[in-house]
Amino acid sequence: MKIVLIGQAAFGANVLGGLLAKGHEVAAVYTSPDKLKGTLDPLKTTARDQKIPVFQPHTYKTDQVFAAYKRFKPDLTILAFVPRIIPVRFLEWPTSKAICYHPSILPRHRGANAINWALIMGDTKTGLSIFWPDAGIDTGPILLQKEIEIGPEDTAGSLYFNHLFPLGVDAILESVALIQAGRAPRIAQNDDEATYEPPCDDRVAGIDWNKPGREVYNLIRGCDPQPGAYAFWQKEKIRFYAARLCAEETAEKQGTIVQIDAQAVHIAVKGGKLAIGKVRSESTGKVPAVNYASKTGLKVNDRLAGV
């Protein structure tokens, strides 16, 4: 099949490599504009190595960008982790239309931060969907889905890199094979079961120590590695990573430091203690939590402020 690939990062690069290995013709690659600093996007680098044209439009809304896209006459367009809305005319132009990867079991967790919200909301299962995108946000018919268990210590990072990344690449290749064979389904989503959460940023990442310990823990691992759930110590915002929830009851008030050892800083929460392995702040960067405590003077019986 002749394919146009729209995507980014290592995920997009792996999809590109998989398509080429299967013998598909990738006519063009579209990815995000270069950042002012840092390395080139891996998808751009891989495409250039394969002599595939690369386009990096700042917007897909212009007639000029669409006209250039039409000239490739793709059989299929693949959206492989695309951080922006692609206008419908790009999706309808290819003869086999377009498919899109989304890291949740749609219609649950529509939106940009589905992996984060599956953890924050305490889901025990998640997965991915390959769907036929339309004018809505993650609303098109389903082609296929894959489900995975969420482990008790999974973070947004571990779910993506250990599971949803490799499984997603394989699912896209499987979907292309189904389309090529004329056996790709279009299963309507049940909008009554849909959830749509806001972006997972600092507006939702602040810790409320009055909430149950399990909810605080889910917030921390759902925001790990980005944006990092946070509390305050001496008015400095500190973000928590590599957390574990211990069921040991403690009499100390929520948010109080109850223990500091070589592995973690332990904080009282409702129904137990949180062991925090790493923290990040403006003054220290990302460091082991015990190093932060040593540098800032944080000690047992100190209490962190929440939001």
Question: Mean per-residue pLDDT for 179-208?
Answer: 97
Using CA atoms, how far residue 111 sits from 46, 204, 295, in Å, is 28, 15, 39
3-state secondary structure of 192: helix
Contact 220, 120 (CB under 8 A): no
Question: Mean per-residue pLDDT for 64-75?
Answer: 97
Question: Mean per-residue pLDDT for 112-123?
Answer: 97
pLDDT for position 227:
98
Residues 6+ apart with CB under 8 A from 108: 118, 123, 193, 194, 195
Kindly give the pairing relationship between strand 125-131 and strand 142-149. antiparallel
pLDDT above 80 (res 37): no
Picking from 83, 163, 150, the residue whose alpha carbon sits closest to that of residue 121 is: 150
| pLDDT above 90 coverage of the chain, percent | 95
pLDDT for position 250:
86
Question: Mean per-residue pLDDT for 212-220?
Answer: 98
Question: CA–CA separation, 202 vs 284, rounded Å?
Answer: 19
> What are the pLDDT digits (tens) for 10-22?
999 999 999 999 9
Question: Mean per-residue pLDDT for 292-307?
Answer: 96
Domains annotated for the chain, with CATH where assigned, are 2-193 (3.40.50.170), 213-296 (3.10.25.10)
pLDDT above 90 (res 247): no
pLDDT above 90 (res 273): yes
Question: CA–CA separation, 23 vs 194, rounded Å?
Answer: 37
Contact 139, 114 (CB under 8 A): no
39 band by pLDDT with thresholds 50, 70 and 90: confident
Buried b (16+ CB within 10 A) or exposed e, 71-95: ebebbbbbbbbbeeebeeebbebbe
pLDDT above 80 (res 38): no
Q: Which amino acid is at 4?
A: V
pLDDT for position 83:
83
Question: CA–CA separation, 33 vs 44, rounded Å?
Answer: 10
pLDDT for position 249:
81
3-state secondary structure of 161: helix
Question: Mean per-residue pLDDT for 68-89?
Answer: 95
pLDDT for position 115:
98
pLDDT above 80 (res 195): yes
Question: CA–CA separation, 259 vs 248, rounded Å?
Answer: 12
If one counts every other C-beta atom within 10 angstroms of the C-beta of residue 209, the result is 20
Q: Which residues make beta-bridge pairs with 237?
A: 232
**Neighbouring C-alpha atoms within 13 Å toward the C-beta of 124:** 0
**Neighbouring C-alpha atoms within 13 Å toward the C-beta of 305:** 7
- What DSSP element (H or E) covers 90? helix 88-92
Picking from 258, 263, 260, 269, the residue whose alpha carbon sits closest to that of residue 216 is: 269
> What are the pLDDT digits (tens) for 130-181?
999 999 999 999 999 999 999 999 999 999 999 999 999 999 999 999 999 9
pLDDT for position 36:
72
Question: Mean per-residue pLDDT for 119-133?
Answer: 98
Tell me the average pLDDT of the chain.
Answer: 96
| pLDDT above 70 coverage of the chain, percent | 100
